[in-house]
Amino acid sequence: MLKFIGVRLIQMSLLFLVFLSLLFFLLQAQPGDFSTQFLDPRIPPENRDLIAARFGLDAPLWKQYLTYMGNVLQGDFGVSFQRYPRTVVSVITERLPRTFFLFTFATLLSYYLGFVLGKVLAWRRGGSQEMSITLGGVLLYTVFYPWFALVMIWFFAAYLDLVPVNQFLTPLRWRDAPFSANSVFTSIIWSTLLLSIGLGLALWASRKPDNETQRRLVKWGGVGLTVAVFLAFWMPHEQRTYATDIAHHALLPIFTLALVAFAGVMLITRGSMLETLKEDYILTARAKGLAPKTIRDRHAARNALLPVTTSFVLGLAFIIGGGLITETVFSWPGMGELLLASVLTQDIPVAIGALAMVGALALIAHIIVDVMYVFLDPRIRYQ
- DSSP-derived secondary structure letter, 37: G
Residues in contact with 46: Cβ distance below 8 Å, sequence separation at least 6, in sequence order: none
Q: How far is the CB of 57 from other proteins (least distance, A)?
A: 11
**Cβ–Cβ under 8 Å, residues 182 and 97:** yes
Of 335, 5, 3, 291, give the one whose Cα is nearest residue 123.
Answer: 291
User: What residues are paired with 87 via a beta bridge?
Assistant: 79
User: Residues 6 or more apart from 313 whose CB is under 8 A from it?
Assistant: 365, 368, 369, 372
Q: Binding residue for other proteins (CB under 8 A) from 300, 317, 329, 351?
A: 329
Site for other proteins contains 54 (CB under 8 A) = yes
Taking each continuous run of H as one helix and of E as one strand, the counts in the chain are 16, 0
- CA torsion angle 154 157 158 160 (round to 10): 110
Distances (CA, A) of 284 to 145, 228, 281, 290: 44, 43, 5, 9
Quick check: 51 binds other proteins (CB under 8 A)?
Answer: yes
- Closest contact distance (angstroms) between CB of 349 and other proteins is 13
The CB-of-314 to other proteins minimum distance in angstroms stands at: 15
Shortest Å, Cβ 306 to other proteins: 11
Instruction: Tell me: does residue 42 bind other proteins (CB under 8 A).
Output: yes
Measured from the CB atom, the residue of 20 and 226 that comes closer to other proteins is 226
21 or 30: whose CB is closer to other proteins? 30
**Which residue from 115, 123, 141, 145 is in contact with other proteins, where contact means CB under 8 A?**
115
* Touching other proteins, residues 344-373 (CB under 8 A): none
Kindly state whether residue 93 participates in binding other proteins, applying the rule CB under 8 A: no
Which residue number, 136 or 198, has a Cβ lying nearer to other proteins? 198
The torsion region of residue 44 among left (phi > 0), alpha (psi -120 to 50) and beta comes to beta
Alpha-carbon distances, residue 71 vs 65, 96, 121, 339 (angstroms):
10, 22, 52, 21
Q: How far is the CB of 101 from other proteins (least distance, A)?
A: 10
Other Cβ atoms less than 10 A from the Cβ of 29: the count is 8
Q: Does 67 bind other proteins (CB under 8 A)?
A: no
Draw the binding track, 180-199, toward other proteins (x: CB under 8 A; -: no contact). Answer: xx------x---x--xx--x
Q: How far is the CB of 255 from other proteins (least distance, A)?
A: 10
Of 223-262, binders to other proteins (CB under 8 A) are 223, 227, 230-231, 234-235, 240-245, 247-248, 251, 254
- Interatomic CA distance for residues 231 and 120, integer angstroms: 33
Identify the CA nearest to 325 among candidates 261, 231, 233: 261
Residues in 291-320 that interact with other proteins by CB under 8 A? 298, 301-302, 305, 309
CB 163 → other proteins: shortest distance, Å?
11
Q: How far apart are CA 210 and CA 255, in angstroms?
A: 39
Q: Which span (12-20, 69-77, 90-98, 129-137) binds other proteins, by CB under 8 A?
A: 90-98
With binding defined as CB under 8 A, does residue 49 bind other proteins? yes
Residue 128: other Cβ atoms inside 10 A: 8
Using CB under 8 A, which of 38, 65, 148, 318 touches other proteins?
A: 38
Select the span of 7-15, 102-110, 286-294, 352-360 touching other proteins (CB under 8 A): 102-110
Q: How far is CA 68 from CA 14, 64, 303, in A?
A: 16, 6, 46
Q: Residue 8 Cβ, how far from other proteins at the closest point, in Å?
A: 22
